[in-house]
Chain A
Amino acid sequence: MTAPTESDIDIWDDRILVDPYPTYASLREQAAVVHLPKNDLYVLTRYDAIRDALGDPETFSSTSIGFNLMVNEALQGTSLASDPPTHTQLRATLSQNLTPRALRGLKVTIDEKADKLVAELAASGSFEAIDALARAFPIEIVADLIGFSGHVKDNMLRWGQAAMQVIGPLNQRTQESFPIAGELYGWCSSVTADDLAPGSIGRGIFDAETRGDIPQGSAGHIIHQYLGAGVDTTIASIGNIVALFGRHPEQFELVRENPDLVPAAFAEVLRYWAPVHIWGRKATRDVEIDGVTIPAGAQVGILFGAGNRDPRHYGNPDSFDIIRNPVDHLSFGYGPHGCAGQGLAKLEAHAIIEALARRVKSLTVSGELREPSNITRSFEKLNLEKVVSA
């Protein structure tokens, strides 16, 4: 007999990771907070509870954003895993190259690259969209941004996937990914300014360290976070854009007719399929939410995708409707730890949507494959055929 606010599911079960929304709906109807004894975890399921928790770092500490001890120890001293006031300076250092004002100069290049890639793919008539587009594009953008090439660029996909995977519980996926995440960590610890292209943001971060503008030794950490956080998530989002336009041709047609809808379309893609399943916090005190108490010290899991489909907040939440323009979706998080790279993510995704709207008249998804993954939810394969150039 489980209590009404308990569930005996394993939130990292393969079937749930691949198709989490039915589980999210039943957890959300149970309570705003549901205890999962199998995972030793309290999950937040409703929009308001999630947004309030993200806005309250005193109660919901980021010292336990991961779901195993090793990863939380490895992340100590990063902005990701720290609380205010320490967090404030680390965050400023991390985000100063990622703010919309800092990225303005990149927009033209990113738009041109997206247009060229999408035009070539559209002309081919059929292609596999994950390798050729969802992975190729962000990896090239991030490589240019940080200023690396060669073997590092070749490893970026597996390093970025592993960096996310190890945030999960100590399951097989996490254990297999630790050595690969270690390769990324090792490279970031040993990279020097001379390894990075002159004029790149990565080189600029080392120059800032040399000038004393940021603490000694922090440049490698910052680059580690850019690569760990900025690859797998953006890949998931771009794959989701293509898949959702394939499933909802009438929504794609709206964007083709009115490119002003591009930002709204991306916000709805993020709301409808959250690229990140779950992210951790630690309760610093007993905290009661809608009648359920999370005990002090408990591990909390934030289910962004469950909050994004909460009917208490979004009407008809299970329909994909770009007109709703859900600017307050939870997929970038919220508050002091809100995604630092969201400006760059939007630049990349808007460029891809604009290019698709300009270059493609229609597309058909002929096959798709998802693999279970601890933290991010993305397609492994997405075959497109009958792609008609505009």
Chain B
Amino acid sequence: MRIELDRPRCEGHGLCEEAAPQLMHLDDDGELVIDVPEVDGPDLDAARSAVRVCPVAALRLAAA
């Protein structure tokens, strides 16, 4: 699966980073960087958590 970010919608709340620090982080400007866009195995659960906690629904998982 592939993590997709709706960039204009992202407001940098950072809950996704807390849920999946191995997959994404906020940079020094508070912009979200997806470090590992293609996910499978155990990373997939973390990615689902990140998508789930985004308060503005800016993240989604799509077929790779």
Contacts and interface: CB of A to CB of B under 8 A. Distances in A.
Contacts of A338: 55-57
Contacts of B52: 328
A50 to B, nearest CB: 14
B13 A336 contact: no
A332 interface: yes
Nearest to B55: A338
What range describes how many residues of A lie at the interface? Answer: 20 to 34
Contacts of B9: 88, 336
Contact of B57 (A55, A100, A104, A342): A55
A100 B15 contact: no
A104 B56 contact: no
Contact of A100 (B8, B13, B19): B13
B30 A343 contact: no
A101 B55 contact: no
Nearest to B31: A101
A98 B12 CA distance: 10
Contacts, number: 46
B57 A336 contact: yes
Contact of A92 (B8, B14, B29, B55): B8
A340 to B, nearest CB: 8
A101 B53 contact: no
Interface centre among A101, A332, A339 (most CB of B within 10 A): A101
B15 A99 contact: no
Nearest to B19: A327
A343 B56 contact: no
B40 interface: no
B11 interface: yes
A342 B54 CA distance: 12
A98 B13 CA distance: 10
Given A328-B52, A335-B57, A95 B8 contact: no
A101 to B, nearest CB: 3
A332 B55 contact: yes
A334 interface: yes
Given A92-B8, A336-B9, A100 B55 contact: no
A263 to B, nearest CB: 9
B57 A334 contact: yes
A99 B55 contact: no
A339 B56 CA distance: 8
Contact of B56 (A101, A102, A328, A335): A335
Interface in B6-58: 8-9, 11-15, 18-19, 26, 29-31, 52-53, 55-57
A327 B15 contact: yes
Contacts of B29: 101
B56 A100 contact: no
Interface in A298-320: none
Nearest to B28: A101
Contacts of A334: 55-57
Contacts of A102: 30
B53 A100 contact: no
A94 to B, nearest CB: 10
A301 B35 CA distance: 39
A338 to B, nearest CB: 4
Interface string A198-237: 0000000000000000000000000000000000000000
Given A327-B18, A334-B56, 7 more contacts: A99-B12, A99-B30, A100-B30, A101-B30, A327-B19, A338-B55, A342-B13
Interface of A: 55, 88, 92, 95, 98-102, 104, 327-328, 332, 334-336, 338-340, 342-343
27 contacts: A55-B57, A99-B11, A99-B12, A100-B13, A100-B14, A100-B30, A101-B26, A101-B29, A101-B31, A102-B30, A104-B30, A327-B18, A327-B19, A332-B55, A334-B56, A334-B57, A335-B56, A335-B57, A336-B9, A336-B56, A338-B55, A338-B56, A338-B57, A339-B55, A340-B11, A342-B55, A343-B13
